[in-house]
Structure 1
Amino acid sequence: MGIKLGRYAIYALLVLCALYYLFPLYVMVSTSLKGVDEIRDGNLLALPVSPEFGAWAKAWSGACTGGNCEGLAPYFRNSLAMTVPAVLISTFIGSLNGYVLAQWRFRGSEVLFTALMVGCFIPFQAVILPMARLLGMTGLANTTTGLVLVHVVYGLAFTTLFFRNFYVTVPEELVKAARIDGAGFCTIYRRIVLPLSLPIFMVCFIWQFTQIWNDFLFGVVFGGADAQPVTVALNNLVNTSTGVKEYNVDMAAAIIAALPTLALYLVAGKYFVRGLTAGAVKG
């Protein structure tokens, strides 16, 4: 009897925690489906009397983000053009780095790994000036390519850490046997290590996608007028002071900006947990 009561108490606590975290989402969704008059005269927690999707359409293609009134659509595409290559490049290079540091030890490898770990704790603000100088020297300032470079460089420390800590759990006998059979660096990586790496690849994909898509500081500093990501556009939209304040449009825009990361966690969340428990943050 006591065990059942304890189980029910745990379930009740989990339900309360879920409701607590979902409550802001409920407010955002319900507000986005209301008209301006209903928001002004109604209750924040009330369901929309007659749901309408005009705010969503305006947030996507008609809202003003500063001096541009094309909505979030162009900036959403900018974020996709920035995030997808940055995630793929940083994950692939991190995989190679982790493979080398875990299975192909060399003199100074531990020092290099320690330096990469230190890189994980360097705040964004510390790299703004040197990164701005680098982008200016290479002609990539205010471009999507420049933002890709920034996120690849900053994310390599994390992806290398994740992959290295995963690859140290790969039995050394597999690598040694492959070396005896004459397999080289690339062959061992492609035929032995890579097929075992799906869980940690999913961890890095989700981690990097979330960090890059939600980034605001690098986007506002290094993104030009034609390369700003959706987070910068969302900030400009919410803070636009012309006309009547349309909270329904603001809420719809916030949900649109968050949809890719939410969808990614819903689709691949189980792989993220599996990758973590498989040694991604052990060492």
Structure 2
Amino acid sequence: MSAPTLTAPALPAAAAPRIDGLRIALWAVLLGLALFFLAPLYVMLSTSLKGMDEIRQGSLLAMPFSPNFAAWAKAWSGACTGTDCSGLKPFFWNSVLMVVPAVLITTALGAINGYVLTKWRFRGSELMFALMLFGVFMPLQVVLLPMSQVLGWLGLASSIWGLTLVHILCGLSSTTLFFRNYYAGLPDELIKAALLDGAGFWRIFWRIVLPLSGPILVVTFIWQFTQIWNDFLFGVVFSDAGTKPITVGLNNLANTSSVVKEYNVDMAAAMIAGLPTLFVYIVAGKYFVRGLTAGAVKG
């Protein structure tokens, strides 16, 4: 008698992917919105790569026929901003000298403030945080006159270091808010365990709290860099001819009258001014969103 043969059960055929009309419509809307918001960037970039003859004869949305970086070179080192024809180069480096220390110092002070206000609370700490929070919502125009007086007393008026100090003081409330909300979600048991092991204030901060602060550090760095680099009000008020940041230089370049308006140079200058922040968001944009989400959940 032959042994019965075992047959494997037939597997159901893979279902064909179903085209969801609602999903297609959603993607179409999102793609349309993306193209709409990217259109100005495309116009700026394409115009900066064209010559003036091509700009006059062609369409605004037409791609450059023979791309070249002559307008970029002129915007960087040859365009006139008023009577000075050295381009955006000195303004760019003024902004770098101002942004780097301002971002580092505001981030460090905000981290320490958030650490103290959440893990080392004292009598009146909540009131102090509430008072610091006013700085987030205070109109910047309110501080122009008193800040000018303070910079004059300190001998820092119309200098890069004076402008850096202004951004440090005005950004401290925002960085404190970020770190305070984030550190409120860290377990207090970590601090208590470290205290039992004999760790002090700074040792706990450096060894325990700061290594857990990666997401909020990225958020603060990007936020402060963008706010300070793109600032125009403080730059035009608290600087002189040799210390103006790139936003003021770009404004002066665009408003400098000449016989022929060179739109390609203006667009190239705008791209140069915006490239640092664009680069930061492209490289670290996903970490910015993650850090904001983490801070919102923990806060």
CA RMSD of aligned residues (A): 1.3
Q: Distance in 2 between matches of 1:7 and 1:141?
A: 57
Match of 1:47 in 2: 63
Structure 1 unaligned segments of length 5 or more: list them. none
Aligned partner (choices 147, 156, 176) of residue 131 of structure 1: 147
After TM superposition, the structure 1 = structure 2 runs for residues 220-235 of structure 1, keeping only pairs within 5 Å, are 220-235=236-251
Give the count of matched residue pairs: 283
The alpha carbon displacement at 1:2 in A equals: 8.6
Structure 2 unaligned segments of length 5 or more: list them. 1-16
Match of 2:275 in 1: 259
Letter in 2 for 1:74: P
Q: Distance in 2 between matches of 1:270 and 1:142?
A: 37
Q: Distance in 2 between matches of 1:148 and 1:64?
A: 26
Q: Distance in 2 between matches of 1:82 and 1:120?
A: 21
After TM superposition, the structure 1 = structure 2 runs for residues 1-283 of structure 1, keeping only pairs within 5 Å, are 4-280=20-296, 283=299
TM-score by length of 1: 0.97
Closer, same or farther: CA 211–221 of 1 in aligned 2, 3 Å: same
Letter in 2 for 1:167: Y
Q: Distance in 2 between matches of 1:119 and 1:276?
A: 20
Letter in 2 for 1:234: L
CA deviations over 1:211-236 (Å, ceiling 9, x no partner):
00000000000011111000000000
Q: Distance in 2 between matches of 1:263 and 1:80?
A: 14
Equivalent pair of 2:185/2:298 in contact (CA under 8 Å): no
Letter in 1 for 2:204: I
Closer, same or farther: CA 127–271 of 1 in aligned 2, 3 Å: same
Equivalent pair of 2:106/2:168 in contact (CA under 8 Å): yes
Q: Distance in 1 between matches of 2:19 and 2:173?
A: 45
TM-score by length of 2: 0.92
Q: Distance in 1 between matches of 2:100 and 2:38?
A: 28
Equivalent pair of 1:162/1:280 in contact (CA under 8 Å): no
Letter in 1 for 2:197: D
Runs of 4+ in 1 over 6 A off after TM superposition: none
Closer, same or farther: CA 128–117 of 1 in aligned 2, 3 Å: same
Q: Distance in 2 between matches of 1:219 and 1:156?
A: 18
Equivalent pair of 2:98/2:163 in contact (CA under 8 Å): yes
Q: Distance in 1 between matches of 2:162 and 2:297?
A: 30
Letter in 2 for 1:275: G
Secondary structure, in 3 states, of the residue corresponding to 2:285? helix
CA deviations over 1:165-221 (Å, ceiling 9, x no partner):
000000111111111111111011011000000110000000000000000000000
The alpha carbon displacement at 1:242 in A equals: 2.1
Q: Distance in 2 between matches of 1:103 and 1:7?
A: 47
Q: Which has the higher helix share?
A: 1
Letter in 2 for 1:210: T
The alpha carbon displacement at 1:282 in A equals: 5.8
Secondary structure, in 3 states, of the residue corresponding to 2:91? helix
Letter in 1 for 2:75: A
Letter in 2 for 1:243: V
